[in-house]
Amino acid sequence: MNSSDFKLSQAFIPIISVVLTNVFTASLNLCLSFILLNEIDLDTFQKFNADHWSTSILPSFVLPTFILYTIYFPIARILHKDTPIQSIPKFIKRLALRMPIIGSFIGCLGWAIGIGLSRFILSSKEVPISESGQSLLLIVSCLVSIYSFALSYFVCEYYFKKYLFPLIFERDEIFIISKFLKDGLVGKFSFYFFSVVVFPLLVIFFTLSSSIGQVSREEDRIYFFLLVLIFIISGVIITYYLVQSLRKPLNEIQSLTETVRKGDFTGTIFVDSKDELGTIKYTLNTMSRELLEKETIREIFGKMVDGRIRDYLLKHPPELGGKKENVAILFSDIRNFTSFSEKLPPEEVVHFLNDYFEKMNSCIVNNNGIINKFIGDGILAIFGGIIPLENASDSAYNAARQMLDEIRSIPFLNGDLTIGIGLHYGEVTLGNIGSKSRMEFTIIGNSVNLSSRLESFTKELKMPIAMSKDFYNQLNAENQISVHRQGEFNLKGMADKIEVFSTL
């Protein structure tokens, strides 16, 4: 069986269910006739059915089934052609949405035709059934026809949602198409209340009314036993389909909310109804998509700036300006990178820098530092400020040592990779600079300039790390042991001499 035939066989299950529910209610109507009619009317009615069964069967079952198939044929043809969901015409989709009501109404129409014909034939042929018997048959048949509508609707809707709607509609399409085709849970529970409460009570009332003075107590028990059995079976059927129509969407809603609670926003659920549950599904799908979009933006934002800066900015509305903080500043730069980059194609240079920055970033982040920006092949990072640290200088010093260890694993053209690192501890301004429409979070201040000058001075010292006295004074005793004073120097751009410390 190919895909289109399989879809077609699935899609015909709701139609078959409508026919079967009508057969069930026909059996119910027949049973009630045996129970409600007196012995004389019952014999006459049985003879009448035997002589005119074709007159009742053809209009009551064959004609409605033919009408139902004719209306359903455009949907069946679309499914047989295996038409993609996006290409299915809107009128077919709207027809599919109305099919549970249409199918149930046509099934009920068969009952109306059958009741009218039976009444006409009984009158025209002067069948000797008492007026009370005819009235009782008419009333019960009308009640059964309404009961048939309710039963057909519950069964048909369940199978349409399960088999047909997923073949015709996209995830949220039913909610969008059905803006002017609303139904609700109130209507469904009204049908349910009639089917399992009102209808049985009315039938029992007519049974009691017709049997008073005509049957014994023992016969009463038999009648009520049969009625109770019939109503239990039909009540179980209706309750099952009602419960299933509620359980599946509620389970899907619970599953999606649990998934969203865990931080996974990729899930969605199929909107298969136009009622309140369908509205909740659509709302959850929309919420999930919006959260996924926000999370994607958040992740992209976190790749453009450090994730902790991202979180800081999301908690504090971006405004021009900043605040002063004492932080440890690390500035690093690759030695002879200009001559290195001139000898390679641009894509290889980019690949090298990405590999280098990835390893350096790990060293800084592992020591609770934050990379503020990449400046060509240079790195500007801070320790403290946004993330409070017990000793920001120790963290920066350990990060610098790890960076020197890590670069040994990075291949470099014509020799080993060497970098210079400048370290300083001092006051900076953390905040947003730029315009109201375009801002950048950064750090500014003389301390940033000093760390950059210290990095440049490592070339003259021929040492990989140079630090200021302020930075050295913040180090713990264990780290100070490996650091040596180099003396006071005039650094470029600095008015006063700077006492410089260094380490291998």
380/454 Cα distance (integer angstroms):
13
pLDDT above 70 for 319: no
68/110 Cα distance (integer angstroms):
11
CA 198 centroid distance within chain: 39
Residues 6 or more apart whose Cβ sits within 8 Å of residue 229: none
Give the β-pairing of 419-434 and 465-468: parallel
Q: Judge whether 380 and 448 are in contact, CB under 8 Å.
A: yes
pLDDT above 60 for 177: yes
Q: Helix axis angle, 217-261 relative to 131-159, nearest 10°?
A: 20
Residues 6 or more apart whose Cβ sits within 8 Å of residue 314: 298
More confident residue, 295 or 374: 374
- pLDDT at position 88, please? 84
User: Which residue pairs, CB below 8 angstroms and at least 24 apart, start in 58-64?
Assistant: 59/110, 59/113, 59/114, 59/117, 60/26, 60/110, 60/111, 60/113, 60/114, 60/117, 61/19, 61/22, 61/23, 61/26, 61/110, 63/110, 63/113, 64/22, 64/106, 64/107, 64/109, 64/110, 64/113
pLDDT above 70 for 250: yes
Q: Domains in the chain, start-ordered, CATH in brackets? A: 3-261 (no CATH), 306-503 (3.30.70.1230)
185/191 Cα distance (integer angstroms):
10
- pLDDT at position 500, please? 92
Query: Which pLDDT band holds residue 213 (cuts at 50, 70, 90)?
Result: very low
Per-residue pLDDT averaged across 340-361, rounded? 85
Q: Judge whether 329 and 426 are in contact, CB under 8 Å.
A: yes
Phi, psi of 353 (to 5 degrees): -65, -40
Alpha helices in 83-198 (DSSP H): 90-124, 131-159, 165-168, 173-177, 185-193
- pLDDT at position 1, please? 47
Residues 6 or more apart whose Cβ sits within 8 Å of residue 28: 144, 147, 230, 234
More confident residue, 174 or 401: 401
250/243 Cα distance (integer angstroms):
10
340/119 Cα distance (integer angstroms):
102
* Residues forming beta bridges with residue 2, ordered by sequence position: none
CA dihedral sign, ordered 461, 464, 466, 472: negative
CB atoms within 10 A of CB 6: 13
CB atoms within 10 A of CB 65: 18
Q: Judge whether 370 and 381 are in contact, CB under 8 Å.
A: yes
The 3-state DSSP class for residue 210 equals helix
Residues 6 or more apart whose Cβ sits within 8 Å of residue 413: 340, 343, 344
143/101 Cα distance (integer angstroms):
18
SS (H, E, C) 263-278: CCCCCCCCCCCCCHHH
More confident residue, 19 or 499: 499
CB atoms within 10 A of CB 160: 23
Report the alpha-carbon angle 39-44-50, nearest 5.
125
Per-residue pLDDT averaged across 60-80, rounded? 76
The residue type at 372: N
Structure tokens at 26: 């026909």
- pLDDT at position 163, please? 78
pLDDT above 70 for 380: yes
Query: Which pLDDT band holds residue 473 (cuts at 50, 70, 90)?
Result: very high
- pLDDT at position 393, please? 92
Structure tokens at 362: 């790990």
Q: Judge whether 75 and 159 are in contact, CB under 8 Å.
A: no
pTM (two decimals): 0.56
Structure tokens at 207: 């049974």
Q: Judge whether 317 and 408 are in contact, CB under 8 Å.
A: no
pLDDT single digits (tens) 416-467: 778 999 999 999 887 766 666 555 667 788 889 999 999 999 988 889 999 9
281/257 Cα distance (integer angstroms):
10
- pLDDT at position 180, please? 47
137/115 Cα distance (integer angstroms):
9
More confident residue, 203 or 56: 203
Q: Judge whether 468 and 425 are in contact, CB under 8 Å.
A: yes
pLDDT single digits (tens) 219-247: 555 656 766 777 777 778 778 878 888 88
Query: Which pLDDT band holds residue 331 (cuts at 50, 70, 90)?
Result: very high
CA 174 centroid distance within chain: 15
481/500 Cα distance (integer angstroms):
15
More confident residue, 114 or 484: 484
Per-residue pLDDT averaged across 310-330, rounded? 70
Structure tokens at 189: 């529970």
pLDDT above 70 for 346: yes
